[in-house]
Amino acid sequence: MIADEIIIKYIGGATALFEVAGLRFLTDPAFDPKDTTYDTGFYVLHKLSNPAINAGSLGKIDFVLLSHDHHFDNLDHAGRQFLSAVDKVYTTPPGAERLGGNAIGIKNWETIEVPTRDNRILQITGTPCRHGPVNGDRGPVTGFVLNFKDDTDGAVYITGDTVWYEGVKEVGERFDIKTVVLFMGAAVVKNVGAAHLTMTIDEAITAAKYFAKAKIVPLHFEGWEHFTESKNEIEKGFANAGLSNRLMWAE
């Protein structure tokens, strides 16, 4: 099953390198240097950390799983330039329209098949997200489920920027999930509102209990000023919940 084979390497924020079956792909590429600021005219985001590796040192990347294109912590300036170097960018349908070129939109529950280098088929399924409260959703955003065709056991779920809600639960109803790559950080952008836009520690613990057979791999928890819950706080929260053995940090 794919959860036993996939290798996840942390780059920073929501950006990670995934390797499986000879394929190499990234989530939400962000490669700008620390202290870059992004003024949208309505709010300002501030990047606090450098990526663990720069884009030019990654080597060949086959595709990008882009949860959304319209927030800089998920796609910054250097990340946007990087997209042209990969074969395909899988993202939301509106994001694909904006990006053009090699971008392909995936609707909720739509599955795209990608041939692997060991003659299997990787299936990528779009999953629903709610990027904030009911009346303050900052979407559209997509998550992704990965599995091999004809092997639906032990799928990998990449949540994208979402809070805990019924759309996340539905992923568990449809798939046998053994690894959840959970976008956390309880992001709060003050000029947008006081509500968190990504999962809190409490929501992550709820998710861990719901996906009871899955390893939990956090992303999107550090490196930006608007992330409000850190790695140390995540570790403490999972320890207090008796779930430390379920928490896995990407290399």
pLDDT tens digit string along 222-238?
A: 999 999 999 999 999 99
- Look up residue 180 and give its two tokens: 């959840």
- Look up residue 101 and give its two tokens: 């070129």
Residue 98, CA atoms < 13 Å, CB-side half-sphere: 12
Q: Which CATH code fits 2-246?
A: 3.60.15.10
Average the pLDDT over 191-199 and give the result. Answer: 94
Average the pLDDT over 172-196 and give the result. Answer: 96
How high is the pLDDT of residue 233?
A: 98
Domain boundary assignment for the chain: 2-246
- pTM of the model as a whole: 0.97
Using alpha carbons, list the distances in angstroms from residue 167 to 127, 131, 143, 157.
Answer: 8, 11, 10, 13
**Span of 92-96, 133-137, 172-176, 215-219 with lowest mean pLDDT:** 133-137
Average the pLDDT over 176-199 and give the result. Answer: 96
How high is the pLDDT of residue 73?
A: 98
25 pLDDT higher than 90: yes
130 pLDDT higher than 90: yes
Please provide residue 177's backbone torsions phi and psi, each rounded to the nearest 5 degrees. -95, 125
Q: Looking at 132-194, which runs of residues are DSSP E strands?
A: 142-148, 151-158, 177-183
The whole-angstrom separation of Cα 141 and Cα 159 is 10
Amino acid at 159: T
Q: How many residues does the chain have?
A: 251
- Look up residue 203 and give its two tokens: 């929501």
114 pLDDT higher than 90: yes
36 pLDDT higher than 90: yes
Cβ pair 143, 28 in contact under 8 A: no
- Look up residue 243 and give its two tokens: 């779930």
Average the pLDDT over 170-174 and give the result. Answer: 97
Look at residues 174, 224, 215, 212 and name the one whose alpha carbon lies nearest to residue 34.
224
Average the pLDDT over 34-42 and give the result. Answer: 96
Amino acid at 33: P
pLDDT band of residue 221 (cuts 50, 70, 90) is very high
How high is the pLDDT of residue 152?
A: 85
The whole-angstrom separation of Cα 167 and Cα 185 is 19
Average the pLDDT over 171-200 and give the result. Answer: 96
Q: Mean of the per-residue pLDDT values for the chain?
A: 97
Q: Looking at 36-136, which runs of residues are DSSP E strands?
A: 37-39, 44-46, 63-65, 88-91, 103-105, 111-115, 121-128
